[in-house]
């Protein structure tokens, strides 16, 4: 079945535009209560980021869940991975996050976690969608759910984050430039790092409801990079608005993205004899990571874009480490879902234990130049991509010219009427030329 509302990471859109409206979120709350809570009286946990519309949607979800008979535990502003953790430790039947992640404040969305603190399976999301379209029925008053606020939610999560570090590992003396994107980590992230002994200089920690991700955070890391230089820090950390992504910078402000962080973790653990299994990336992971891991004898597997695909592959393989270039990383030996702060702590742990700088730890991986061209296509063009022989031949020709020293990806956008033409290779000019030729073929065959 085709999902009507759920995308690769929950439900997301512009506030006030269907389905991100108060009345529809009310219906979603009731439907989620019916499917996830059933007749149990285990609570549903609700957390949110710092965008202003979170107040409205928190109330709507609470009302809908109560109408279904589900109890509610309100966490207030809390990172997405904290909601996953607290769902497990509070023995809730499900967790809900009100967030549009790295998007601007005009957007919002809803993400769900199972009782195990993991993303919902497809069949459960489909069941919620089916329930939304049924008549809104409120249970008898005697069976209605109740709501309570968890006053120590932040403290619980802070202790969890510190507990992911090996006992006795401290960050004493490490100077950190931290950017919280005016988002959900603005209180907990500085507290965790300081309690572990780091010297922390923070920006992006003054949310006002409308400044989340605005010029700050992992998707706009320039502010963090400047902050590293200004403060003379050893390392920079930029989290996104809901705290599930992270990118870093070394002491000279050079960006270290998710691919490079995966290499640092895998290669350092491998050198210490502590790494088992392989690494999972996506079709968009830089070819340089694949080459660097191959040189170390570490298996590497690609999946479709999205952390749910990475998680599924890790579980199937029995591996623990994977992620995306954006910094959405999974370390299943530390957390059940992507956690930007925990991912940063792993890298900081390796710095503290080895005595090496971030620049030293990243040596051994060279990123391949990458070119991506978005080609607008006509209605139905995305669906015709796999059936066009001329494009298939152009793709084969391009791959032949790369001769195993690069790669090419043709991928329809999930949100726009475009085909993304992406090439990677050692020679940036050759990569650009080949990408433009392939894009022109796509434009000729499928363009509007």
Q: pLDDT of the chain along its 448 residues, tens only?
A: 577 899 878 999 999 999 999 999 999 999 999 999 987 778 999 999 999 999 999 999 999 999 999 999 999 999 999 999 999 999 999 999 999 999 999 999 999 999 999 999 999 999 999 999 999 999 999 999 999 999 999 999 999 999 999 998 999 989 999 999 999 999 999 999 999 999 999 999 999 999 999 999 999 999 999 999 999 999 999 999 999 999 999 999 999 999 999 999 999 999 999 999 999 999 989 999 999 999 999 999 999 988 889 999 999 999 999 999 999 999 999 999 999 999 999 999 999 999 999 999 999 999 999 899 999 988 888 888 888 999 999 999 999 999 888 899 998 876 678 899 999 998 899 999 999 999 999 999 998 6
Q: What one-character DSSP code corresponds to residue 119? A: B
* Spatial distance between the Cα atoms of 32 and 6, rounded to a whole number of angstroms: 13
Rounded to 5 degrees, what are φ and ψ at 231?
Answer: -95, -5
In the numeric block, the tokens 């931290």 are attached to 178
Q: Where are the domains of the chain?
A: 11-151, 157-361, 370-446
CATH 3.40.1000.10 is right for the domain spanning 370-446: no
CATH 3.40.120.10 is right for the domain spanning 157-361: yes
Record the tokens describing residue 286, joined without a space: 């830089």
* Spatial distance between the Cα atoms of 14 and 104, rounded to a whole number of angstroms: 9
* Spatial distance between the Cα atoms of 65 and 56, rounded to a whole number of angstroms: 14
* Spatial distance between the Cα atoms of 255 and 362, rounded to a whole number of angstroms: 11
Contact yes or no for 255/197 (Cβ under 8 A): no
- Strands of the sheet containing 72-77, edge to edge, are 11-14, 107-113, 94-98, 44-48, 72-77, 147-149
Q: Comparing C-alpha atoms, which of 266, 37, 273, 29 is closest to residue 143?
A: 37
Q: Comparing C-alpha atoms, which of 304, 357, 313, 358 is closest to residue 332?
A: 313
Contact yes or no for 47/77 (Cβ under 8 A): yes
* 357: annotated active-site residue: no
Q: What one-character DSSP code corresponds to residue 10? A: B
What topology does CATH give the domain 11-151? Alpha-D-Glucose-1,6-Bisphosphate; Chain A, domain 3 (3.40.120)
Q: Which is catalytic among the residues 53, 68, 99, 101? A: 101
Domains 11-151 and 370-446 share a fold: no
> Cis omega before residue 155 (within 30°)?
no
């Amino acid at each position: 079945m085709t999902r009507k509302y759920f995308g690769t990471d929950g439900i997301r859109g512009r506030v006030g535009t269907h389905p991100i409206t108060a009345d529809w979120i009310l219906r979603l709350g009731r439907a989620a209560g019916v499917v996830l809570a059933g007749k149990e009286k285990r609570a549903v946990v609700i957390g949110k980021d710092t965008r202003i519309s979170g107040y409205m949607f928190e109330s709507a979800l609470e009302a809908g869940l109560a109408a279904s008979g589900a109890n509610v535990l309100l966490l207030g502003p809390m990172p997405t991975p904290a909601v996953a953790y607290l769902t497990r430790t509070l023995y809730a039947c499900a967790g809900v996050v009100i967030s549009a992640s790295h998007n601007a404040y005009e957007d919002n969305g809803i993400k769900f976690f199972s009782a195990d603190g993991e993303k919902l399976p497809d069949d459960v999301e489909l069941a919620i969608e089916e329930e939304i379209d049924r008549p809104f029925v409120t249970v008898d008053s005697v069976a209605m759910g109740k709501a309570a606020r968890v006053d120590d939610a932040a403290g619980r999560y802070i202790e969890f984050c510190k507990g992911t570090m090996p006992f006795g590992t401290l960050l004493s003396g490490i100077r950190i430039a931290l950017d919280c994107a005016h988002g959900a980590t603005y209180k907990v992230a500085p507290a965790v790092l300081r309690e572990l002994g780091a010297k922390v200089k923070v920006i992006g920690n003054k949310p006002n409801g409308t400044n989340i991700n605005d010029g700050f955070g992992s998707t706009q890391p320039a502010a963090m990079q400047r902050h590293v230089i200004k403060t003379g820090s050893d390392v920079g950390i930029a989290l996104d608005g809901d705290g599930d992504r992270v990118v870093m910078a070394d002491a000279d402000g050079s960006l270290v993205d998710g691919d490079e962080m995966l290499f640092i973790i895998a290669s350092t653990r491998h050198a210490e004899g502590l790494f088992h299994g392989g690494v999972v990336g996506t079709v968009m992971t830089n070819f340089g990571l694949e080459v660097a891991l191959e040189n170390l004898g570490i298996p590497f597997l690609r999946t479709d874009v999205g952390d749910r695909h990475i998680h599924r592959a890790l579980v199937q393989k029995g591996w623990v480490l994977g992620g995306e270039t954006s910094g959405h990383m999974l370390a299943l030996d530390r957390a059940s879902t992507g956690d930007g702060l925990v991912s940063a702590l792993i890298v900081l742990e390796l710095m503290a234990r080895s005595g090496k700088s971030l620049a030293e730890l990243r040596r051994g991986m060279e990123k391949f130049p990458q070119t991506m061209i978005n080609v607008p296509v006509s209605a139905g063009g995305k669906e015709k991509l796999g059936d066009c022989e001329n494009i298939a031949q152009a793709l084969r020709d391009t791959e032949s010219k790369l001769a195993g020293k690069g790669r090419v990806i043709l991928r329809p956008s999930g949100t726009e009427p475009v085909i993304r033409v992406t090439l990677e290779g050692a020679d940036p000019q050759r990569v650009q030329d080949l990408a433009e030729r392939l894009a022109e073929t796509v434009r000729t065959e499928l363009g509007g």
